[in-house]
């Protein structure tokens, strides 16, 4: 068991951050420096993605660095850190989480529902975000959605796979027409990723109004031309996706 887990009961805070009734959330992925955390916390970002077990990934962290940033994110009092990974081995993931405040795991790649069950069994308060990959106008895991839900997935995240098979932070824009019928099948909240920005919210109005829409996940479009997290970009994304959603009453009722 993870020694930082205060009890065997699920963490109420973790449940609140995935409650769609509390408004749209913004997740920024690929954070590697403490000043980036300060920037995101000051601008009302909800989730922060910290990479571990992403071979060759430009923002992949070793365990020591990952834990330092996880601690700093949690200490902000407003950021919920997320372990973003391709790893499938529950024992390795347990070792990474041990001693950290992190309870959210975002799984890229194609783990089986059985793997999800093993990861959920790490501790009662572990939460799983399962990425659903869209490639060539189709969702690769569409037939497994029901099985993933039964295995304990807490939140789904729709993202785009490039033609050459690259997964995660591709910057490619996701097609809302592909997501819409799948969203209607879900019993869990979902996040949107894949080229989401401050300028294209109008293309996703119907999805943003969906009763299970939780929010968005951004990486490329939160950055400036130099690849660094841009305060202006983050502010614009927050303003368009969070403030506008609150004003338009997307969460009324």
pLDDT tens across 140-165, in order? 999 999 999 999 999 999 998 876 55
Which CATH number is 21-247's, of 3.20.20.70, 3.30.70.890, 1.20.120.80, 3.60.21.10? 3.20.20.70
**pLDDT value of residue 170:** 60
DSSP letter (8 states) at residue 6: -
Alpha-carbon 193 to chain mean position: 8
Looking at the chain, list the stretches that DSSP marks H as alpha helix, in order from N- to C-terminal side.
12-16, 34-42, 63-75, 90-97, 113-120, 145-151, 176-183, 205-208, 231-238, 244-248
- Residue 219, helix vs strand vs coil: coil
pTM: 0.90
Q: How many CA atoms lie within 13 A of 130 on its CB side?
A: 30
Question: Any idea where the domains of the chain sit in the sequence?
Answer: 21-247
pLDDT tens across 114-128, in order? 999 999 999 999 999
């Amino acid at each position: 068991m993870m020694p930082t887990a205060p009890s065997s009961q699920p963490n109420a805070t973790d449940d609140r951050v995935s409650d769609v009734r509390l408004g749209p959330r913004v997740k920024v992925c690929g954070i590697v420096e403490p000043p980036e955390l300060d920037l995101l916390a000051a601008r009302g970002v909800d989730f922060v993605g910290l990479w571990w077990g992403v071979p060759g990934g430009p923002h992949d962290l070793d365990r020591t660095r990952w834990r330092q940033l996880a601690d700093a994110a949690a200490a902000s009092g407003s950021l919920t850190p997320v372990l973003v990974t391709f790893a499938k081995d529950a024992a390795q993931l347990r070792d990474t989480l041990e001693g950290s405040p992190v309870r959210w795991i975002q799984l890229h790649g194609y783990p089986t529902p059985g793997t999800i069950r093993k990861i959920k069994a790490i501790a009662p308060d572990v939460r799983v975000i399962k990425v659903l990959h869209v490639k060539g106008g189709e969702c690769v895991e569409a037939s497994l959605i029901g099985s993933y839900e039964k295995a304990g997935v807490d939140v789904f995240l729709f993202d785009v796979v490039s033609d050459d098979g690259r997964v995660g932070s591709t910057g490619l824009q996701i097609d809302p027409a592909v997501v819409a019928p799948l969203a209607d099948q879900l019993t869990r909240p979902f996040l949107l990723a894949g080229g989401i920005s401050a300028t294209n919210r109008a293309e996703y109005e119907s999805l943003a109004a969906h009763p299970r829409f939780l929010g968005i996940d951004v990486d490329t479009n939160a950055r400036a031309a130099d690849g660094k997290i841009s305060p202006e970009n983050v502010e614009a994304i927050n303003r368009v996706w969070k403030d506008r959603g609150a004003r338009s009453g997307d969460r009324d009722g």
